[in-house]
Amino acid sequence: MARVAIVTGGTRGIGEAISLALKEAGMTVAANYAGNDERAKAFTTRTGIKAYKWDVGDFDACQKGCQQVADELGPIDVVVNNAGITRDGTMPKMTYEMWDDVMRTNLGGCFNMAKAVFPGMRERKWGRIVNIGSINGQAGQYGQVNYAAAKSGIHGFTKALAQEGARAGITVNAIAPGYIDTDMVAAVPADVLEKIVAKIPVGRLGQAHEIARGVAFLCAEDAGFVTGSTLSINGGQHMY
């Protein structure tokens, strides 16, 4: 029977590429999304992957959403916590709401989703959780104290939960993408983007499928000895 995977923020950008990669790996994929119904419908028509709408920052919604997926597709074996938002601003301009929105979605979403699926994974003695962090969680970024804090928190969350899951056959890993050619990066002003690319040793932005390839590797049946790791996919921009 095919493994069942949920990809949060799974209908666009990096999330769409991950959804497709896991489907190609033979999994039954559910793509979560938060807002754009029209885009989600087009995604399902294009890919054949069913989309489910809920806010990952809402604990109860995650419980209900995961239960719905399990009822319709089967027990959840894989979760990719990809959903993320930005609310950029320097500290003097950053409101509490900007801070809270990002922490609630980007970091809180990882807890909410893991809490919903972890008991079932433990019972079945198998699971794969992959959390999408960021180069900016590793190195920091001007004007992103909220985003950098949330993404950095994801890396710590990953290492701690990996220790809890290890003996139950559950691996928990993270991927830290660099600058990827998505809608989020496309919103960066051209002159700023040019300066960013100039700092990437390979001389280009990454592609969403390059992140998806890393996720597929970490979710594979034979990846059981990889846990608590952060895989940096950033073109050499941040090495440590």
Mean pLDDT, rounded, for 191-216: 95
Give the model's pLDDT for residue 69: 98
Confidence at residue 185, expressed as pLDDT on a 0 to 100 scale: 79
48 has pLDDT over 80: yes
Round the average pLDDT of the chain to a whole number and report it.
Answer: 96
Query: For residue range 122-133, what is the model confidence (pLDDT) as tens digits?
Result: 999 999 999 999
Partners of 127 in the beta sheet? 170
pLDDT in tens, 65-76: 999 999 999 999
Here the CATH number for the domain that contains residue 54 is: 3.40.50.720
pLDDT at 1 over 90: no
Higher pLDDT residue, 183 or 157? 157
62-107 pLDDT, tens digit per residue, is 999 999 999 999 999 999 999 999 899 999 999 999 999 999 999 9
With respect to residue 240, please indicate whether it lies within any of the assigned structural domains. no
In a domain, 238, yes or no: no
Q: Report yes or no on 23 lying in a domain.
A: yes
Q: What is the pLDDT of residue 97?
A: 97
Residue of 33, 52, 147, 179 marked catalytic: 147
Rounded CA-CA distance 11/197 in Å is: 26
In which residue are the tokens 């609630």 written? 104
* Residue 91 forms part of a structural domain: yes
For the cut 80, the answer to whether the pLDDT of residue 30 exceeds it is yes
Question: What tens digit of pLDDT does each residue of 145-174 get?
Answer: 999 999 999 999 999 999 999 999 999 999
Is residue 147 part of the annotated active site? The answer reads: yes
Query: What pLDDT shows up at residue 222?
Result: 97
Residue 74 lies in a domain: yes
Considering the domain boundaries, does residue 33 fall inside one? yes
Tokens of 186: 């496309």
Residue 183 is assigned to a structural domain of this protein = yes
Q: What is the mean pLDDT of residues 42-59?
A: 98
- pLDDT tops 80 at residue 184: no
Residue 237 covered by a domain: no
Does this model's pTM top 0.75? My answer is: yes
Closest CA relative to residue 15, chosen from 69, 56, 72: 56
Domain count, the chain: 1
Structural domain harbouring 222: 4-231
pLDDT of 13 over the 90 cut: yes
SS3 of the chain: the string is CCCEEEECCCCCHHHHHHHHHHHHCCCEEEEEECCCHHHHHHHHHHHCCEEEECCCCCHHHHHHHHHHHHHHHCCEEEEEECCCCCCCCCCCCCCHHHHHHHHHHHHHHHHHHHHHHHHHHHHHCCEEEEEECCHHHHHCCCCCHHHHHHHHHHHHHHHHHHHHHHHHCEEEEEEEECCECCHHHHCCCHHHHHHHHHCCCCCCCECHHHHHHHHHHHHCCCCCCCCCCEEEECCCCCCC
